[in-house]
Chains A and B, each alone.
Chain A
Amino acid sequence: MDFNFTEEQDMVRAGLSRLVREQYDWETRRKAIASSAGWRPEVWAQLAELGILGMPFSEADGGFGGGAVDAMVIMQEFGKGLVVEPFIPTVVCAGGFLKHGGTAAQKEEHIGGIVAGSAVFAFAYAEPRGRFDYADLETTAAKDGAGYVLNGHKAVVIGAPWASHLIVTARTGGARRDRDGVSVFVVAKDAAGITTRDYVTVDGRRASEVYFENVALPADALIGEEGAGLALIELVTDEAIAALCAEACGAMKVAHAMTVEYSRQRKQFGVPIGSFQVLQHRMVDMYTAYEQALSLTYLATLRLGSDERARKQAVSAAKVGVGQAARLIGQEAVQIHGGNGVTDEYAIGHFFKRLTIFDSEFGNVDHHLKRHVSLG
């Protein structure tokens, strides 16, 4: 048993912490998310230069030999600054599909671009009626000669406006919601037949509705085995959930610290409001919830390589615990900030919004409680 980080991981954390502090300050972020691009490609290039985008890939694949713990460290720091750049869609999701299901040729083609920062991915899995079920797909990829023809509509694809490529889930066989018949494809976003409707999300990111109309996919667009993609999707989304929980932990830590600091500064009735026991105990409950959530995030991250059942149990436990903590901490942080908490000007409201949307990504608390129950 060892809860220590390696020297390299400590260095990554320190480097990212400095980057977020020095180059991702609140005003800079505010301007960036309101700009027409909505993100900062120069930050992305810098992350590539620092080796962050290549961290979780093996050296054989052109990366730096890190793993899930490295992704956790990275996402915690990003969470502290509400960094919007698409590390999870690109490195964790697309990277995960390539690592676990990609052919040598696919890895060769795409991982280099991810590591270098030139290829940006979005993961198009959600559908208007799918509600957290990766197999509940109306998007289809019909066999056409050696390749496929893709048709469908993907909902709220995070980071798609910035993406050069998409990972798309589609049904190649079976009936809607069958476990069998689900396949995963990689496609360039500028392929003929793809249109998007881009928009801002309430937590300051960008997303798209993505429409596929008779998009011709070559045979080698398929990642993994045809019709057997669900297990791969579950593995990769479990990795994404662990990273997302790490991001939420970073955001919760800052939201809590901001609240404690506010309660020290804000005076009412002649004293700092932090001297009121009723608020002290609530901030203690927030702190406790954060520590418990962090523990579940460690558990999920360290179980990603375990057998399927242990992995799913740990990941669902984390999504439930972190989701509950995110709700508590977000709501209480706003409440303790009083009127200032509901303004756009104060940062705390933005942390609250990010922590709110967290719950709806890759399955909410109810969904993962059910999955935990189903695993017995």
Chain B
Amino acid sequence: MNLEFTAEEQAFRDEVRAFIAENYPKHLADFGMREDMEREDFLAWHKILGKKGWSVPAWPTEYGGTGWTPTQRYIWSEENARASTVMPLPFGVSMVGPVIYTFGNAEQKAKHLPGIVSGDVWWCQGYSEPGAGSDLASLKTTAVRDGDHYIINGQKTWTTLAQHADWGFFLCRTDPTAKQQEGISFILVDMKTPGVEVKPIKLLDGGYEVNETWLTDVRVPVENLVGQENKGWTYAKFLLAHERSGIAGVARSKRGIEKLREIAANESLDGAPLIKDFDFAKKVSQLEIDLAALEITELRTLAGEQAGKGPGPESSILKIKGTEIQQRLTELTLEAVGTYGAPYMGGVSNDNGSNEFPVGPDYATHAAATYFNMRKTSIYGGSNEIQRNIITKMILGL
């Protein structure tokens, strides 16, 4: 066992670090991820990476993957976090892309994968419904066969950034008589199809990043069915396991802890920097310890993948701990900024009542909004309660 990078890996790190420094758009430097960005800002880095051939590292090389080892992929995400880049969104790259290249037919691969690789096509995820959250399999949206089309009716919710989406992947019930999980199909929908309506949902931080998506008599060609009819649940579960493996956000949290330390060095308590306060420093250390554990756990999972094991139920650990750490980080950041956490600067994208320019230090501006916003992480992607259920069932065998 050995944690050190080999000479080749160090060379790889230098190469990607230099590439990021030279090619990452200057106007998005140290920007992180903000939901109020313009569509083109979300896609800028993705498109540059698409040209370089680095936008979908984990994919098989025949579809555009880089063939990097898990260690190289780890280095890649570390280096991106270090520069706070706006990474390609997961909906195409980590969700529908792997479903299409694993279960889709040749036409679907040819039609859809290049747009994901290049960053030209924006995807959104139509899974949850108002009545089907944790119990996703109880979804009610229907797709009824009519000649060579499906007619889709229903309401999806929490469709993240669907306001920008060109295409969506939707779970629809195609056999209402079958047992819950067995009558579901995985269907690709062009978001410009008549009958698709996207309505924004305002979140508690004041921002708009999720939507209700209404589907009314939406006619979709049958060739947009991925895999077999009524087998969609299998693909949905496959996708969720993939989604979970990226959800830990270790590298980003590491960068977040660095920023937290910078803030706490700038804030003062009893005439000394806050970071010198034992009580506060202790909490930051505790967070770092939790993150160190998670990092090694994630690396162990990656090593398993390298040995040919797909992401299994243990990826639920990554989701639970990763999101708990992200939430704790935003909580400590809000605590660090003290009194200046209270002024409202708008959510990540706001409508009314916001202030025109920051009150207090810049780093305090989004501290509360980010803390509020990050409560979603233990709810989405299969709530942390559901993740515990998965571990209970799949690992403990209870």
A residues in contact (CB < 8 Å) with B: 34, 126, 128-133, 136, 155-156, 158, 176-177, 197, 199-203, 207, 209, 267-270, 273, 276, 278-279, 331, 334-335, 338-339, 341-345, 349-350, 352-353, 356-357, 359-360, 364, 366, 369-370
Contacts and interface: CB of A to CB of B under 8 A. Distances in A.
A335 B379 contact: yes
Contacts of A278: 385, 388
Interface string B314-358: 000000000000000000001100111111100000001111000
Interface stretch (B18-26, B118-126, B202-210): B202-210
A201 B344 contact: yes
B387 to A, nearest CB: 12
A343 B202 contact: yes
Interface in B268-287: 268-271, 274, 277, 279-280
Contacts of A267: 131
Contacts of B310: none
B345 to A, nearest CB: 9
Of the candidates A131, A209, A342, A359, the one having the most CB atoms from chain B within 10 angstroms of its own CB is A342
Nearest to B131: A267
B233 interface: no
A334 B327 CA distance: 13
If over half of B's interface residues share one DSSP class (helix, strand or loop), that class is named, otherwise mixed; here it is mixed
Contacts of B133: 268, 338-339
Nearest to B280: A366
Contacts of B279: 366, 369-370
Size bracket of the B interface: 35 or more
A346 to B, nearest CB: 8
Interface string B109-129: 000000000000000000010
Interface in B15-41: none
B157 A339 contact: yes
A335 B375 contact: yes
A268 B134 contact: yes
B375 A197 contact: no
B354 A129 contact: no
B135 A342 contact: no
12 contacts: A34-B353, A156-B340, A176-B271, A203-B342, A269-B135, A270-B138, A273-B134, A278-B385, A339-B380, A341-B379, A342-B376, A370-B279
A320 to B, nearest CB: 12
Interface stretch (B97-105, B171-179, B364-372): B364-372
B201 interface: yes
B299 to A, nearest CB: 29
B53 to A, nearest CB: 37
Contacts of A268: 132-135, 138
Contact of B203 (A176, A342, A360): A342
B158 interface: yes
A131 B338 contact: yes
Contacts of B344: 199-202
Given A176-B271, A339-B380, 4 more contacts: A132-B338, A270-B138, A356-B372, A357-B368
A370 B353 CA distance: 37
Contacts of B385: 276, 278-279
A296 B338 CA distance: 24
B352 A199 contact: no
